[in-house]
């Protein structure tokens, strides 16, 4: 599983289409040797159907530990029934910050975002890494139709 998972699981926000594109790695613990149950899928969601959820769980670590994450829940239109979830950020504070930036971008556009001192990290161009699994992991490759749709206006 370590070398089958992609280097990153990016999320793209398209303000003009009001869509969110998620590059996700799926795995099935019940079918560990199945090629159809494992792999990368690019999924498309409507922005209006997303809700941010915070979760705190005590994990089985050496001395115990609190694991906090933010996930995005996809709900059925017009209801609060969750039909899917995907990971968004580690840590409640980091997740709140990222969710606020995503909302700001989707409401007002890129000019409303703050100026960042460094460009975003691109895992595909990562030169030196000490994690062998990340070095051997496949690069992120969006399907051509979704890649084009996620970068253009309707």
pLDDT 10s digits, 73-108: 999 998 989 999 999 998 899 999 999 999 999 999
Q: Tell the residue number behind the tokens 């003009």, with chain if given.
A: 16
Closest CA to 39 of 61, 17, 69, 6: 6
pTM (predicted TM-score) = 0.83
Question: Which element (helix H / strand E) includes 147?
Answer: helix 144-151
| Tens of pLDDT, residues 4-57 | 566 678 899 999 999 999 998 876 667 766 666 677 889 999 999 999 999 888
d(CA 68, CA 82): 20
**What's the pLDDT at 47?**
97
Distance (Å, whole) CA 146 – CA 39: 17
């Amino acid at each position: 599983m370590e070398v089958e998972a992609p280097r990153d699981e990016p999320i793209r926000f398209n303000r003009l289409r009001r869509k969110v594109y998620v590059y996700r790695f799926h795995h099935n613990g019940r079918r560990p040797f199945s090629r159809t149950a494992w792999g990368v899928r690019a999924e498309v969601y409507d922005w209006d159907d997303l809700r941010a959820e915070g979760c705190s769980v005590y994990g089985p670590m050496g001395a115990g530990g609190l694991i906090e994450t933010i996930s995005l829940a996809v709900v059925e239109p017009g209801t609060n029934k969750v039909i899917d979830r995907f990971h968004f950020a580690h840590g409640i504070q980091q997740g709140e910050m990222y969710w606020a930036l995503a909302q700001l971008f989707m409401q007002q556009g890129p000019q409303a975002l703050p100026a960042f001192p460094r460009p975003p990290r691109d895992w595909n161009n990562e030169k030196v890494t000490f994690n062998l699994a990340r070095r051997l992991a496949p690069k992120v490759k969006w399907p051509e139709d979704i890649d084009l749709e996620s970068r253009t206006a309707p």
